[in-house]
Amino acid sequence: MRIGVSVCLVTSLSFLGVQSVVADDPTVHREAVRQHIQKELTSLQELYKHLHSHPELSLQELQTSARLAKEMESLGFEVTTKVGGHGVVCVYKNGAGPTVLVRTDMDALPVTEMTNVSYASQVRTRDRNGNMVGVMHACGHDIHMSCWIGTARTLVALKDRWSGTLVFIAQPAEEIGVGARKMIEDGLFKRFPKPDYALALHAEARLQAGHVSYTEGLALANVDTVDLLVKGSGGHGASPHTTVDPIVLSARIILDLQTIVSREINPTDPAVVTVGSIHGGTKHNIIPSEVKLQLTVRTTRDDVRKHVLDAIERIAKSAATGARAPEPVMTVNHDEFTPACINDKPLARKTVALFEKLLGEDKVHQRPPIMGGEDFGRYGREGIPIFIYFLGTIDDERWQASLKPGAKLLPSMHSDSYYPTPEPSIRTGVFTMSMAVLNIVGKPGK
């Protein structure tokens, strides 16, 4: 059951934990928002193409953050830079009322772009490990930023229609799961107004532009990054009996890890253990002394997370003992841990009910939880009701082509071939986010 919009001129949002005055019908702001977006659309598309062609990796978002800070200063926001690294916090006070946080992320991925669009990224730089890599906004953060700026412009232009405080944040390092934590640790909710609600959107690579999707409650998973150093005793490939082969041992461990999810976890509790990288050895006829495994672990419950991590260590140690090998070294990168993202159900239902009125029920889709990660969930762990929804970005032509029998699947997020269609993706993103904020802080009768 979805919560409908109040039919009273003055209503309480006490079920969301804050008292506020809202419009009897928040869609009253619809035409004003649409008209303003139309004025800004060309500028926002130009901004999008600039951001797309000038991507920066996680923790390197210097120029991106400067551009966003400049845009927000021009609108009259109080702007603070270098929060948790290259994070930007922008505050706009407009009378009494709720405080609403709207987040965008800024970082791009170490992907060489293959889209062939005219504004494709040609950027190459060095990653954290010193490797020369291509850089691409393959996860839609350029769309996020464009919609974020567009929403800020819209709300400032229509400030006579709402009352409250906006906290717009541009977050670094979402792709490596550390940006939200760094901003919180740097005083995000102590140095600046603590929000009553937090909103975000995320581009969706396999959803038609003009559509949105959402999840109530659990939306995205816990994500852990695990390194496993498997040790052995190296030697000549012609004399394996004089060695302890860490490659064979690693193969055994990899296979045994598959039993964690299939035989130790309740089938109703989703979990994923993936070995994404295995490196060992230098030559055909040399048995190495060690092998490095890189794992991603995804769970939806904290107790399941602990069980899986403990099981990985247990299995690795047991296999090493059986092979007469030194004990392996397991490292869980807690700095890059991303907690599960859990949407606040009342806020989700209230916002989705609005979206259905604005876009039509046929363009608002419920989606199951996915095992991807999103550190927006950290704001929810600070006691703030959060809601992140997903924005369709695929134009009608590509969408229809993908539905034909035998058609190639659309590129996924993080693909070198994924690109959003700026129009109507940006228009829909700015429209839905602006209206979602007004649904909380908007004045009646406007």
Would you tell me how many other CB atoms lie within 10 Å of the CB of residue 355? 23
Q: With a cut of 70, say whether residue 422 has pLDDT above it.
A: yes
The CATH architecture one would assign to domain 222-336 is 2-Layer Sandwich (3.30)
d(CA 415, CA 425): 18
The pLDDT of residue 21: 37
By the 8 A CB rule, do 231 and 248 touch?
no
**Residue in the structure block whose two tokens are 């970005």:** 393
In this structure, what token pair is assigned to residue 181? 């934590």
Given CA atoms 305, 197, 154, 211 in this order, what sign does their dihedral have? positive
Would you tell me how many other CB atoms lie within 10 Å of the CB of residue 74? 12
**Residue in the structure block whose two tokens are 């270098």:** 82
d(CA 330, CA 226): 7
The pLDDT of residue 144: 98
- pLDDT tens-place string over residues 88-111: 999 999 999 999 999 999 999 999
Given CA atoms 367, 373, 375, 381 in this order, what sign does their dihedral have? positive
Residue type at position 412: S
Long-range CB contacts (within 8 A, 24+) of 63-70:
64/106, 64/107, 64/145, 64/170, 65/106, 65/170, 65/172, 68/104, 68/106, 68/145, 68/148, 68/149, 68/170, 69/170
The pLDDT of residue 1: 35
128 burial via Cβ count (<10 Å: 0-12, 13-18, 19+):
exposed
The pLDDT of residue 27: 83
The pLDDT of residue 37: 98
d(CA 175, CA 297): 16
Backbone angles phi, psi at 18, to 5 degrees: -140, 140
SS3 category, 54: coil
Closest by CA to 394, choosing from 366, 416, 415, 420, is 420
What mean pLDDT is reported for the chain? 94
In this structure, what token pair is assigned to residue 239? 């004399």
Contacts of 178 (CB under 8 A, 6+ apart): 58, 59, 335, 336, 375
- pLDDT tens-place string over residues 64-95: 999 999 999 999 999 999 999 999 999 999 99
Task: Encode 318-353: b = buried (16+ Cβ within 10 Å), e = exposed.
Answer: ebbeebebbebebebeeebbbbbbbbbebbbbbbbb
The pTM assigned to this predicted structure is 0.90
Q: Where are the domains of the chain?
A: 14-221+340-441, 222-336
Query: Beta-strand (E) ranges in 237-301?
Result: 271-280, 286-287, 290-299
The pLDDT of residue 129: 87
The CATH architecture one would assign to domain 14-221+340-441 is 3-Layer(aba) Sandwich (3.40)
How much of the chain exceeds pLDDT 90, in percent? 92
Q: With a cut of 90, say whether residue 397 has pLDDT above it.
A: yes
In this structure, what token pair is assigned to residue 349? 């239902």
Element (H, E) at 376: none
By the 8 A CB rule, do 292 and 249 touch?
no
Would you tell me how many other CB atoms lie within 10 Å of the CB of residue 425? 26
By the 8 A CB rule, do 337 and 224 touch?
yes
Rounded to 5°, the CA angle 291-371-311 comes to 45
By the 8 A CB rule, do 293 and 277 touch?
yes
- pLDDT tens-place string over residues 116-158: 999 999 999 999 889 999 999 999 999 999 999 999 999 999 9
- pLDDT tens-place string over residues 177-235: 999 999 999 999 999 999 999 999 999 999 999 999 999 999 999 999 999 999 999 99
What average pLDDT does range 362-372 have in this prediction? 96
The pLDDT of residue 446: 59
- pLDDT tens-place string over residues 283-341: 999 999 999 999 999 999 999 999 999 999 999 999 999 999 999 999 999 988 999 99
